[in-house]
């Protein structure tokens, strides 16, 4: 980590920012504890929890038995006991043994108890492609969870957001699905340690433009920024919105942008069918119908299981696929 002239600004990759955010949250509140497979001595397979067990001890950083249902289910019990567990799922594709505990228990307990019981549990999920990995290691399962009432779902796209959003997620009294775009773990960015850029569930315009709006979350935000850069060279001005929160979705900045540009392209790595992108398209069509000059277009992964790594470049939308949609939108 290199300290810049502003003492509160530090440059670091998202992996380090998450580590720093977790460390801060654990220091701030002794009830925060981390649970997961290989997160102790190894520091997690992505090293997000590196050094935390050494610093806080193995009652605060638990190398659990190998069982996702066990991890989530016991986190629920710990939350009932007043703890604030932060669970690490090792890879996106391994969350499903815990799906029952997440969707039937964690998501519903507050409602079942008519608000008497709070479930401040965070579930960290490294997700998404671009890492050339084998089956179950590159998936984007966020729609299942965004669809589930009672869960909040967020996904940072920058080190700064990662640092702040993990702390805000831990501070939330509701369960938060925290989707970490693993292909963004290593690129560096500035982190402002003095203040958060936006509340946990705020969406944000990250590049101004006038001809069309692009929106995405996680790693896809970087792809949109690349697309906007390429388009600018061709004289096309694209606005980019970082969604940040998938449930709830903060529509106002997005609608404001669409009212200005008249065109929207929603991008995501996840398959498009019945997805977060579908929901955004429908909502924007409902609420900004008279501002739209073109139908809302979706650019997404195909509706197939994530393919073998050698096909990932064909599966994952890139800047060219985004620009192809931009061309179609501008042609209306």
Partner 1 sequence: MAETESTSPAPAVQILAADGTVAPTASAEPYLEYLDRLTSADHEQFYRDMVIARAFDTEAANLQRQGQLALWPPCHGQEGAQVGSGRAARAQDHIFPSYREHAVGLVRGVDLLGIIEVMRGTTHFGWDAADPSNGNFRPYTLVIGAQTLHATGYAMGINFDGATGTGNPDTDQAVVVYFGDGATSQGDVNESMVFAASYQTPQVFFLQNNHWAISVPVTTQSRTPLFQRAAGFGIPSVQVDGNDVLASYAVTAKHLDSARAGGGPQLIEALTYRIGAHTTSDDPTKYRTQELTDSWIARDPIVRFQAFLRGQGASDAFFDGVTAEAHDYAADIRRRTHAIADPEIGLMFDGVYSDDHPLMTEQKQWLEQYEAALDGGAS
Q: What are the tokens at 161? A: 């957001």
Shortest CB 117 distance to partner 1, Å? 24
CA distance 229 to 223: 10
| Among 245, 159, 142, CA closest to 202 | 245
Residue 115 CB neighbours (<10 A): 8
| Residues 19-58 as x/- pattern, contact with ligand TPP by CB under 6 A | ------------------x---------------------
- Name every residue whose Cβ is closer than 8 Å to that of residue 111 and which is 6 or more positions away in sequence: 149, 150
Cα dist from 57 to 27, 34, 61, 274, whole Å: 12, 11, 6, 43
Q: Is 90 in the site for ligand TPP (CB under 6 A)?
A: yes
The interface region with partner 1, picked from 132-140, 189-197, 220-228, 246-254 by CB under 8 A, is 132-140
Shortest CB 43 distance to partner 1, Å? 7
Q: Is 315 in the site for partner 1 (CB under 8 A)?
A: yes
Contact partner, 321, from partner 1, ligand TPP, none, Cβ < 5-8 Å per class: partner 1
CA distance 68 to 160: 29
Q: Give the count of alpha carbons within 13 A of 195, CB side only.
A: 3
**Of the two residues 30 and 57, which places its CB atom closer to partner 1 in the complex?**
57
Beta strands 264-271; 297-301: pairing state: parallel
The interface region with partner 1, picked from 78-86, 129-137, 151-159, 210-218 by CB under 8 A, is 129-137
The reply to whether 137 belongs to the active site is yes
CA distance 248 to 145: 11
The residue from 295, 308, 327, 332 that contacts partner 1 (CB under 8 A) is 308
Burial bucket for residue 19 (CB in 10 Å: 0-12, 13-18, 19+) = buried
Size of the site for ligand TPP (CB under 6 A): 6
Which one of 130, 136, 137, 147 is the catalytic residue? 137
Shortest CB 137 distance to ligand TPP, Å? 9
Shortest CB 37 distance to ligand TPP, Å? 5
Residues binding ligand TPP (CB under 6 A): 37, 66, 68, 90, 94, 97
Q: Looking at the annotation, which residues are catalytic?
A: 137
């Amino acid at each position: 980590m290199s300290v810049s002239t502003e003492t509160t600004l530090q440059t670091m990759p998202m992996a380090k920012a998450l580590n720093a955010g977790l460390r801060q949250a654990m220091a701030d509140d002794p009830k925060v504890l981390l649970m997961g497979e290989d997160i102790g001595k190894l520091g997690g397979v992505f090293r997000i929890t590196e050094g935390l067990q050494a610093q806080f001890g193995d009652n605060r950083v638990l190398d659990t038995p190998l069982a996702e249902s066990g991890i989530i289910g016991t986190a629920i019990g710990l939350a009932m006991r007043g703890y604030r567990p932060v669970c690490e799922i090792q890879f996106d594709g391994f969350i499903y043994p815990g799906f029952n505990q997440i969707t039937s228990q964690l998501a519903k307990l507050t409602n079942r108890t008519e608000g008497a019981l709070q479930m401040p549990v965070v579930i960290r999920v490294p997700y998404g492609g671009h890492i050339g990995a084998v089956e179950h290691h590159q998936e984007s399962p966020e729609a299942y969870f965004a669809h589930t009432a009672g869960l909040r779902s967020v996904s940072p796209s920058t080190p700064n957001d990662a640092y702040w959003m993990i702390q805000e997620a831990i501070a939330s009294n509701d369960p938060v699905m925290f989707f970490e775009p693993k292909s963004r773990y290593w690129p560096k960015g500035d982190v402002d340690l003095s203040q958060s850029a936006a509340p946990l569930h705020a969406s944000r315009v990250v590049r101004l433009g006038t001809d069309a709006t692009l929106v995405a979350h996680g790693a896809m935000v970087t792809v949109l920024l690349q697309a906007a850069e390429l388009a600018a060279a061709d004289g096309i001005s694209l606005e980019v919105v970082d969604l940040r929160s998938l449930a709830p979705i903060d529509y106002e900045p997005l609608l404001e942008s669409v009212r200005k540009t008249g065109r929207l392209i929603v991008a995501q790595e996840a398959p498009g069918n019945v997805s977060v992108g579908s929901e955004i398209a429908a909502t924007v069509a409902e609420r900004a119908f008279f501002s739209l000059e073109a139908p809302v277009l979706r650019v997404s992964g195909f509706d197939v299981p994530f393919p073998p790594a050698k096909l990932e470049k064909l599966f994952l939308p890139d800047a060219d696929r985004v620009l192809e949609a931009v061309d179609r939108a501008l042609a209306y």
